[in-house]
Structure 1
């Protein structure tokens, strides 16, 4: 930071206004994802997923397109996850998804605890003393981003090839990104009896197959689609 910034800071501090405590009760939205779509012709090779179902978490982020070189704080570009709200306005973390944090001069500047937007293209920093320390113009947007929830169970069916008129399907469950051995199973289906196969509620119509690939349509996923809210613990 430049010396001129520090000189300007004393003028800035005289104009700060008090801010009540942030309410850390933001609820991220979690929903079930089901791949592929119902009744669409698909093709999978040996080892590929035929059916994949789990949960994804959608969370609000403040995304800055460039560095904000401020008087009291420097805010790196990137996406900052929402952590709470105050008077209906969202507040965001001071560390982005790349692990970069808001930069300040310890001993001279209050440590930042949150970011928020005051108006279009204006980003504000809330400090540990709960004062609106500084607001800066910048190119930014508030958006929702989704990621798979590795803490939930993910269910999959995998094509494992064929022998004659029989096809082999592997069922796998994953939790925390790791396979659950107790919930792993290999199943053989006789296409001479029926071209409709099922496992744990899922139903698949087999259209064609050989020892390398399979064409199919998903008739039903493991579970019906639903969505609900997850409420994190109040800090």
Structure 2
């Protein structure tokens, strides 16, 4: 009888077994800023050209703070859109952190760390579960959430940028920086000088820029092509939510 009581209590505390699937692939599109052939003004020290990517992702959205509780344990899901990780026959699995930095917060220091969120595909009883690395879930019913698609903009693994460094006489100085994941420490950098009396069009690593006006404070230009292929290039601002 004592063993049965312990087993029952363990089931109540831990919930059902979790098996998060990481089999979801979002739709990824390369983007760059500014858009092609648009007249752009950039000031000294600022980036003239950036590239990155936008991910169209499924997400579970919590409009308000959502509490998931069990005896001696409580977790708060902060409002936000939590990107999808994967799915199986009956369930959808989502990240423990939203795209804007919100997360699942545990209210007891002794509680296990959450690794994801699980909901049912059939939305039965509005069940929401929090999953753990121990292979268990905490589940509550009647929780408010919606499933939606979100655009998440991020830097690409290899980030390339051009920086305006000013003008002396007829010559302008353009800085080039390469980053790989860590945007605080470039993996490669270089400065190039261009004589505008020879040509108003400058080129660097596939990027082609027509200079319309340049002073020691700003540069006005049109982007003819970028580090990505022109056909795949899009305006970064069009993906801001």
TM-score (norm 1): 0.71
4+ runs deviating over 6 angstroms: 128-132
2:154 paired residue number: 148
**Structure 1 residue ranges without an equivalent (≥5):** 1-9, 228-235
Q: Deviations over 1:12-47 (max 9, x none)?
A: x7xx9x888443211133332210000000001111
C-alpha distance in structure 2 between counterparts of 1:121 and 1:185, whole Å: 59
Specify the alignment match of 1:119 in structure 2: 123
SS, match of residue 137 in structure 1: coil
**Among 122, 139, 142, the residue aligned to 1:136:** 142
- Pair 1:101–1:115, CA change in 2 (3 A): farther
Asked if 2 retains the 8 angstrom alpha-carbon contact of 1:94 and 1:101, the reply is no
Q: Distance in 1 between matches of 2:42 and 2:131?
A: 53
Change (3 A) 1:171 1:58: same
Query: Number of matched residues?
Result: 208
Secondary structure of 2:84's aligned partner: strand
Of residues 79-88 and 158-167 in structure 1, the stretch that sits farther from structure 2 once superposed is: 79-88
Aligned counterparts of 2:75 and 2:158: Cα–Cα separation in 1: 40
Deviation of 1:59 (Å): 3.8
TM-score, length basis structure 2: 0.70
RMSD between superposed Cα atoms in Å: 3.5
**In the superposition, relative to structure 1, how do residues 167 and 71 fare at CA in structure 2: closer, same or farther (>3 Å)?**
closer
Q: Distance in 1 between matches of 2:116 and 2:44?
A: 50
How far is the alpha carbon of 1:133 from its aligned partner? 3.9
After TM superposition, give the deviation of residue 120 of structure 1 in Å: 9.3
1:112–1:158 CA distance, 2 compared to 1 (3 A) = closer
Q: Match of 1:39?
A: 37
The answer as to whether partners of 1:68 and 1:136 remain within 8 angstroms in 2 is: no
Mapped contact 1:121–1:140 kept (Cα < 8 A) = no
Q: Which residues of 2 match residues 18-29 of structure 1 at below 5 A?
A: 21-29=19-27
What are the residue-to-residue correspondences of 1:164-175 with 2, within 5 Å?
A: 164-175=169-180
